[in-house]
Structure 1
C-alpha cells in the first residue's frame, strides 16, 4: 500500500474530492484528467492552487478551470470538501445531473459557471446560501421551474439564466439593485433657477379699437432697375467690310437691242446697239 504525503490537511481533502470527481467522469476525450493520480494536487490539469485567504503560507485549491474540455460525467457530493474553492468554471462540457447541496460549504465561493452543459432539476437553491457569490452563469442547461424570489434580494455582478426552462417574472432592475425607486435627478449646481416671483411680468398686447380704421395693405413698390431700357439704345448700322464690293447694277436693254429671231440659214443676226438715222450702211 502506497502511503501518500500531503503538505497540509486541506490538500488532502482536495485530493479526496478530485479523485471522487474523476471516478464520476464517464468520458474524457482530451485526457484533461489524465494526470489526476498523485498527491500533487497543485499539478493537476485545470486545478488552480494558491495561498489560502487566512494563511499566505498555506497552499490550497482555489479554482477549477476545465472549460471546453468535452468531458461527460456528474458532480459528486465530495466536491464539498473543497472548502477554499473560490472559482468553479466548467462551461462547454457534457456534465449532467444536479448541483450538489454540498456546495453550501464553499463560503469563499465567488464565481460559478456551469453554462453549456446538461444539468437538470429545479434552480439550485444551494446558490442562495453562498453569500460571497457574485457571478452566476447557468445558461444552456435544462433547469426548470420557478426562479426563487430570494435570488433577486442579492446583488450580483453577472447573472445569466437564459436558455433553460425556468419561469417567473424578472423584477424591475431598479428595485432589484436599489430596493426602492430612485430619487428624482438633482439639478446641476452651475444653474439655479430664479424664483417665479422675481421674474419680470410680461406686457399684454394692446387691443385694437373698433373705431380705428381698418388697415389697408400697402402695394409693394417694384424695385427700380438701374439698367438702361433696351429701346433707348440706338445701334449704328453695320459697316460693310472693305473687301466687299457690291455688284454693278445691270443696264436695261432697249427694244432695238433685243435679239432678232434666227434666220433661216441658222445664223443669228444682232443689230447694232444704238442705230442712228444719220449713218447708213455702206
Structure 2
C-alpha cells in the first residue's frame, strides 16, 4: 500500500502550511447523543450551571434540570420545571461544548478520559494547522430533542453559515459522530440547497442509519450506564438515565428499521412468568419480539411511566 501523507503536511512530513488558512477547507465537528455539554439556567437569570456532564452531584443536577417530558403538541421534550431552560455553551466557536464534557479540574487532574469526547481530534486538527474560529468549528446541541426539530436543524444551518463566512467563503467538511450523522442526514433532506451551498464533504463515524436496535432496545427497557466500576457512584445512575431516555424523541428515531434487510433480524428476548391457575408454578418461558412486535412490548413496559 502506498504511503499517503497527512493532507496538512508537506511530503517531507513537516507542517508546511501551518497558519495559511487559504490552503484548508473549514471543518465542522458534530457530536452524537450525550456528546454535548448542557447548561441549565433560570429563565429570569443570566447565571448558568453545567448539568451534563458533571462528576460531583451528577445525579441530583440531572434530575433537577435534565429530566423532561415529551410534549406531543410541540414536538419538543420540555423540562419538568417550566422556569428552567437548557442551553449549550457556544464558547470556543462551538468546540468547548464537545471537547472535554466535564472540564473541571478534578477530571483533568485524574485524566478521566471517559468524558474526553472530541478532544483528541480537536488537538490533532489544531496541530495540523487548523485554526479555531477560521477553519475549525464545533456544533453541540440538545441531544434530547428530535433530530428533525427546528431548534437543532436551524442551529446547524446557522453554524454552517458562520463557518462559511469566517473561512472566506470556502465549503465545509462535516465530521459527525453517531446520532450527529442522523441529524446531518435530516438537514440534507430538509435543506438541500443550504447543504449544497455550504458543504463540500461529509464524513460520519458510527452513524446508525438503519437504527441501533440492540443499544436502543436495551436503553428503553433498562436504561444505560456510561461509566462502570467505582466511578459510577459519582455519575448519573442507570435508572436516572432511563427516566430521561423514555421521554426523548431522538432515542425512538434510532430504533431498528423494519424494512432493512438485516443479516440477522434483531429481536428482543424476554423471560416471562407463565400464567397458570397453580400459584406454586414459578416457571417462566422465553418470548421473542421482532422489530414490529417490540413496539407493543415498549407500549406495555412504558405506558405507566411517571416521575
* Shared fold per TM-score greater than 0.5: no
Q: TM-score range by the shorter chain?
A: under 0.3
Q: Which has the higher contact order (CA 8 A, sep 6+)?
A: 2
**Which one has the bigger helix percentage?**
2
The alignment's TM-score, normalised by the length of structure 2, stands at: 0.23
The alignment's TM-score, normalised by the length of structure 1, stands at: 0.25
> Based on CA coordinates, which of the two structures has the bigger radius of gyration?
1
